Amino acid sequence: MRWADRRIVLPGLIAIAGLAVLIGLGTWQLERKAWKDALIATLAKRLAAAADDLPPPDGWSFLDPADHEFRRVSFPAEMVKTELLQHQEARVYTSGSALRDDVKTPGYFAFAPARLSGGSIVVVNRGYVPNPHPNAQTRPLGEIDGVVDLVGVLRWPESPGWFVASHNAQDDLWFVRDPAAMAAAKNWGEVAPFYIELETLEPPGGLPKPGRLKVNLPNNHLQYALTWYGLALVLVVIFAIWAAGRRRERPA
């Protein structure tokens, strides 16, 4: 091996490793794009479908989120009343919603228990309230009496983050949508393993405001893939130019 050739062996191995990483990242982004395309198509189909009857309570534990989340359902229920008004709802802070075009500013979603005809409890997201500073003394808005027909979308609980508390006890404000945790904190009793994003429930005064969910997920994976592949091409060109220069050199 000539002296000039030996000088490019180690840099060449490093360049090959970098090239493999860049190509791998680009390919991973293409795989993510395919997954995101399928997810968007699935959500769009489910959200556009007619509402089915809410599954019966004896089958709730068998529901698979992968097959049932974002499916539209309809059911009659009565909003649960308690002696302490603040215990009737759990307020979930939001700075905006990717699934609702009408939620652009900070506020909260009002989660509350609804009782089915057989006595089972389902937690429902009654809608959005544009109040960025709710606290433990904030009273529920738009209370509704009696049995009402509800239409909404099945959703499953969120997982708590590493760095974000799920609940601020002082202000009684939630940051994670977890109906079981809400029910335990509010003494609602046993609730369904899912919750319902209500589309319809016109309360007195218009708040909380329910709304139809829309698919609005970002899908920039093709752009990211082209960026990684472009960097891989740049690496090849730069290394080829550098290696050609080294091969022309001779030892002093």
Q: At what angle do helices 3-48 and 221-248 cross, to 10 degrees?
A: 170
CB atoms within 10 A of CB 166: 16
Q: Give residue-wise pLDDT tens across range 98-115.
A: 888 889 899 999 999 999
Query: Rounded distance, CA 140 to CA 184, Å?
Result: 19
State the number of CA atoms in the 13 A half-sphere of 81 facing the CB.
Answer: 8
Query: Would you say residue 82 has pLDDT above 80?
Result: no
CB atoms within 10 A of CB 225: 19
State the number of CA atoms in the 13 A half-sphere of 45 facing the CB.
Answer: 8
Q: Give residue-wise pLDDT tens across range 126-137.
A: 999 999 898 888
CA 132 → CA 6, 49, 96, 120, 175, distances in Å?
Answer: 65, 33, 11, 32, 13
Are the beta carbons of 8 and 239 closer than 8 angstroms? no
Domain spans of the chain, in order of start: 3-40+228-248, 71-206
Q: Give residue-wise pLDDT tens across range 25-59.
A: 999 999 999 999 998 898 899 999 999 999 999 99
Q: Is the pTM higher than 0.75?
A: yes
